[in-house]
Amino acid sequence: MQTVEVKVVRIGNSRGVRIPADVLRRYDVGETLVLNETQDGILLCPKPQTGQKLSWAETARAMAAEEEDWLAWEVTASDGIETVPWEAERAAEKPAAYRVHPKQSARM
């Protein structure tokens, strides 16, 4: 990373700096920058490109078009959860068997 000295110039009632073209290309700067004031000084960053968001249907079509193998993500298929007996009023696992002694509960 190199240091480049730029001159502050008057632009109407404001001031501005000219950023070299190769720096603009390197950081893919479009029409706007984001200016952040930090403890160390001023930080200029390219504004993130915001594309149009896809709907759920468009996302599903795009995923299907990629023909990716999603089986590697099916980690729950082999964890045995389908064999756990589920009851409507209780969790599948029994609560831990422990007792509080009367003397201990009085101190709490």
99 pLDDT band, cuts 50/70/90, is low
Per the domain annotation, does 101 fall within a domain?
A: no
Query: pTM for the whole thing?
Result: 0.41
Per the domain annotation, does 97 fall within a domain?
A: no
- Name the residue with higher pLDDT: 32 or 106: 32
Per the domain annotation, does 2 fall within a domain?
A: no
Per the domain annotation, does 13 fall within a domain?
A: yes
Domain residues for the domain of 19 are: 8-46
Per the domain annotation, does 20 fall within a domain?
A: yes
| Residue pLDDT, tens place only, 28-60 | 888 889 999 999 999 999 887 777 777 888 888
Per the domain annotation, does 66 fall within a domain?
A: no
Per the domain annotation, does 1 fall within a domain?
A: no
From residue 48, alpha-carbon distances to 14, 17, 24 in Å are 25, 21, 14
Per the domain annotation, does 93 fall within a domain?
A: no
Pair 4, 13: CB distance under 8 Å: no
Pair 91, 84: CB distance under 8 Å: no
Q: How many domains does the chain divide into?
A: 1
